[in-house]
């Protein structure tokens, strides 16, 4: 499928995996909606023949939350990049996961702001060069699986963009999972991140990411931190059940507030 993304960028592969996952779920397209923010990955909403919303920078999750609350029958998922979701909009993700809103959040992590000039993001590795960290990044990056799990996400996984079969399976599981599900997609960015860090051609970057990764399903998310000299840990790390935000709203409406427990309680 022709698209705007650079040769070697993993967003196109991630979109293909998402399309496969949507077809496998059996959910009719009229009952799905995709929300994206600003950036390279934010353009995904324009390539899917679904109801879609291309939102302002960092605000994809609030828009998706409103859509889900207004139309609870829809399966709503967010498809955006780490700069949009976690550098600009990190606060929104924290509270969506805490509330366990019934959303799927797909985050393509290419470790920099790809579209706006290759600036440092909250997920740029230590020491990596960008347009705004020409001598190497000095800020410790977020570990997204740890953050998602700590905030309450019920499904957390990470895969490479090139591993489309496992990625499609993860997307399918996440789309069908009640509650806040999160899938991180590690993607090469040859044009911006790769060029400034001398990681070679697009093909060489893909091979590098593949050779420097290892699958470790069910490990604690804190064991998935991306560190120099260590393998990039991939897999499904969290898959559990807990009431969704919508479940708690329905319960409160039918039984009244659960707190305080009664007169005189402390």
Classify 61 in phi/psi space as left (phi over 0), alpha (psi -120 to 50) or beta: alpha
Residue 227, domain member (yes or no): yes
The CATH number for 242's domain is 3.40.50.970
Dist. CA 40–CA 167, nearest whole Å: 19
Structural domain count, the chain: 1
Residues of the domain holding 107: 11-255
20 pLDDT tier (thresholds 50, 70, 90)? very high
- Answer yes or no: are the C-beta atoms of 237 and 158 closer than 8 Å: yes
Query: Model pTM?
Result: 0.93
Average pLDDT across the chain, whole number: 93
93: DSSP letter: H
Q: Tell me what the mean pLDDT of segment 221-230 comes to.
A: 91
- Answer yes or no: are the C-beta atoms of 199 and 207 closer than 8 Å: no
Residue position matching structure tokens 């799927």: 104
Instruction: Take residue 261 and report the two structure tokens written for it.
Output: 């427990």
Residue 112, domain member (yes or no): yes
Beta bridge partners of 93: none
For residue 266, pLDDT over 60 is answered with no
46 pLDDT tier (thresholds 50, 70, 90)? confident
CA 2 to chain CA mean position, Å? 23
Q: Tell me what the mean pLDDT of segment 222-231 comes to.
A: 91
Q: Looking at the chain, list the stretches that DSSP marks H as alpha helix, in order from N- to C-terminal side.
A: 11-25, 60-70, 82, 90-99, 144-151, 164-176, 195-196, 202-211, 245-255
Residue 191, domain member (yes or no): yes
Residue 73, domain member (yes or no): yes
3-state secondary structure of 252: helix
Residue 263, domain member (yes or no): no
Q: Tell me what the mean pLDDT of segment 82-87 comes to.
A: 94
Dist. CA 176–CA 154, nearest whole Å: 12
Residue 6, domain member (yes or no): no
Residue 1, domain member (yes or no): no
227 pLDDT tier (thresholds 50, 70, 90)? confident
Beta bridge partners of 57: none
The set of residues, in sequence order, having a beta carbon less than 8 Å from that of 212 and lying 6+ positions away, is 231, 232
Q: What strand order describes the sheet that includes 32-36?
A: 51-54, 32-36, 75-81, 104-109, 181-186, 155-160, 232-239, 213-215
Rg over alpha carbons for the chain, rounded to the nearest Å, is 19
For residue 264, pLDDT over 70 is answered with no
Dist. CA 171–CA 22, nearest whole Å: 8
Residue 172, domain member (yes or no): yes
Report the pLDDT value the prediction gives residue 179, as an integer from 0 to 100: 97
């Amino acid at each position: 499928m022709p698209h705007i993304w650079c040769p070697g960028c993993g967003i196109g592969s991630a979109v293909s995996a998402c399309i496969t996952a949507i077809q496998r779920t059996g959910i009719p397209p009229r009952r799905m909606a995709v929300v994206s923010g600003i950036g390279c990955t934010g353009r995904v909403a324009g390539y899917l023949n679904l109801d879609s919303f291309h939102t302002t920078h960092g605000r994809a999750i609030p828009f998706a939350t409103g859509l889900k609350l207004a139309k609870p029958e829809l399966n709503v998922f967010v498809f955006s990049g780490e700069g949009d979701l976690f550098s600009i909009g990190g606060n929104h993700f924290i509270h969506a996961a805490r509330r366990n809103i019934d959303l799927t959040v797909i985050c393509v992590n290419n470790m920099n702001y790809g579209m706006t000039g290759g600036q440092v993001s909250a997920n740029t590795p230590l020491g990596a060069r960008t347009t705004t960290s020409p001598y190497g990044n000095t800020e410790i990056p977020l570990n997204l699986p740890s953050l998602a799990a700590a905030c309450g996400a019920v499904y957390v996984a990470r895969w490479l963009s090139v591993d489309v079969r496992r990625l499609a399976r993860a997307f399918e599981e996440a789309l069908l999972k009640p509650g806040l599900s999160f899938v991180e997609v590690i993607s090469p960015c040859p044009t911006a991140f790769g060029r400034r860090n001398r990681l070679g051609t697009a093909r060489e970057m893909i091979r590098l990411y593949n050779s420097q990764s290892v699958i470790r399903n069910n490990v604690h998310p804190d064991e998935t931190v991306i560190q120099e000299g260590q393998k990039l840990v991939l897999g499904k790390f969290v898959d559990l059940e807990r009431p969704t935000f919508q479940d708690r709203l329905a319960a409160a409406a039918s039984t009244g507030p659960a707190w305080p427990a009664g007169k005189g309680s402390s």
